[in-house]
Structure 1
Amino acid sequence: MEANPPDYELADRMALTSPDQVKAIGHPLRTMILQLLHERAATVTELAEVAQRPKSTVAHHVDVLTRNGLLRVVRTRKVRAIEERFYGRTARIFHVTAEPSPAGEQMPGDFNDFVVAARESAKAFERGKLWGFIRHARISEDQASQFWDQMVELVDEFDRMPRSGETMYGFAIGIYPTDHPALPAAQDSPPGESWTA
């Protein structure tokens, strides 16, 4: 069994405070790169081989992520007089802050992890390998926020699981307000009336 990933030091959480940072994680190839680096640090060459994309393309996207503070060089290695750079994430979890951008810029509103999850999970659904639930509950905003904190802990636990096996699994989790109908609050029984189940 392998050690807990990844093989470099990184922060637990990082707030994305600029539109460029949010745009950076919204690109499918950059999302893939960030997900791969949950496993271990990697070079542009390694990432290009796994992603099956040209090295120049991957190098461009790694540069975008690095310029926006989402990746950093965590170590280097000399190979035939050439220095190879190994890139790692700067945090396990990136989250979009609810605070306005320091420069007053509008944050992008089109980044959606569930779009990625829906696309990725289609084949698993066809093979009968998709495990999931959806629930609706009428709760307060404070309760939703507290529950989100618990979900973040679960994501962190998933990220830290020792790597083993041959299959890569996706894990999607979220909470969001909906227009789903809800029953009104239950009425107290009128005097002289009793309830039975």
Structure 2
Amino acid sequence: MPSDDVPRTLHVTTDEQVRAVSNLTRHRIMAVLRFEPATITQIAERVGLAKGSSSYHVRLLERAGLVKVVRTRKVRGVTERYYAMAARSIVLPEPGEGGPDVLMRHAVADLEASPADGERHVRMAHLRLTDEQFAELAERLEALADEYRELSDPALPDASLVFALFHPAQGGPAGGEAK
């Protein structure tokens, strides 16, 4: 998809947008559209949905301004629409206190749904950092993700990179003892 006519960032600000991205199926549809436009049929095949369900979810994303029609073509008298992301990246609002982080929920669901015999690199590290080190690490992780996003080739298989750098709640994990 040509990146010169697509905004770099879209900030999710409305309730309609938050509801749209909070759904795992729509999250997966946006992942399909991240690198190249696709039709409802192509989206349905890649996500494993019926065409009607795919169409419903794409319409909700389109109405929320998260995806858009980028081209059309006539096929046997029917207009076929190609959908793409409305921006190169979507920025979600910070979750409210006690609220689940939508990105992390979707990432865990995608990880759990990935082939068990596939290559995975999952690691959790507990760190003790100064404020400056914390900020530097966050910046480096974001830069690395951006660097590899630019190298992404739509012809290659999908790979997901998820990271969370945060200060945990005091006293260890919620609802249990620190391990």
Q: How does the TM-score come out when normalised to structure 2?
A: 0.76
Aligned counterpart for 2:43 among listed residues 41, 47, 68: 47
Structure 2: gaps spanning 5 or more residues: 172-179
Contact 1:19 1:108 in 2 (8 A): no
Would you say 1:30 and 2:26 are equivalent positions?
A: yes
Amino acid in structure 2 at the alignment position of 1:139: T
Amino acid in structure 1 at the alignment position of 2:45: E
- RMSD over aligned CA atoms reads 3.0
CA distance in structure 2 between the partners assigned to 1:148 and 1:60 by the alignment: 37
Structure 1 equivalent of residue 57 of structure 2: 61
CA distance in structure 2 between the partners assigned to 1:109 and 1:40 by the alignment: 32
CA distance in structure 1 between the partners assigned to 2:97 and 2:81 by the alignment: 31
Structure 1: gaps spanning 5 or more residues: 1-5, 99-105, 182-197
What's the offset of the Cα at 1:41? 0.1
Contact 2:16 2:64 in 1 (8 A): yes
Percent of aligned pairs with the same residue?
23
Larger mean CA deviation between 73-82 and 6-15 belongs to 6-15
Q: How does the TM-score come out when normalised to structure 1?
A: 0.70
Q: Which has the larger radius of gyration?
A: 1
Contact 2:36 2:154 in 1 (8 A): no
Would you say 1:84 and 2:75 are equivalent positions?
A: no
Please give the per-residue CA displacement for 1:149-169, whole angstroms capped at 9, x wherever unaligned.
44333333333322455x432
Bigger relative contact order, structure 1 or 2 (CA pairs below 8 A, ≥6 apart): 1
Contact 2:8 2:89 in 1 (8 A): yes
Give the 5 Å matches for 1:131-170: 131-135=121-125, 136-140=127-131, 144=134, 147-160=137-150, 161-165=152-156, 167-170=157-160
Contact 1:18 1:107 in 2 (8 A): no
- Partner of 2:149, secondary structure, is helix
CA distance in structure 2 between the partners assigned to 1:83 and 1:155 by the alignment: 37
What's the offset of the Cα at 1:77? 0.8
CA distance in structure 2 between the partners assigned to 1:22 and 1:129 by the alignment: 32
**Which stretches of structure 1, 4 residues or more, deviate above 6 A after TM superposition?**
none
Contact 1:33 1:47 in 2 (8 A): yes
Contact 1:22 1:111 in 2 (8 A): no
Aligned counterpart for 2:169 among listed residues 179, 183, 186: 179
Would you say 1:19 and 2:15 are equivalent positions?
A: yes
Structure 1 equivalent of residue 176 of structure 2: none
Please give the per-residue CA displacement for 1:163-195, whole angstroms capped at 9, x wherever unaligned.
455x432211222220377xxxxxxxxxxxxxx
Amino acid in structure 1 at the alignment position of 2:169: D
What's the offset of the Cα at 1:73? 0.7
Amino acid in structure 1 at the alignment position of 2:53: T
Would you say 1:129 and 2:125 are equivalent positions?
A: no
Q: How many residues align?
A: 168
What's the offset of the Cα at 1:144? 4.3
- Partner of 2:59, secondary structure, is helix
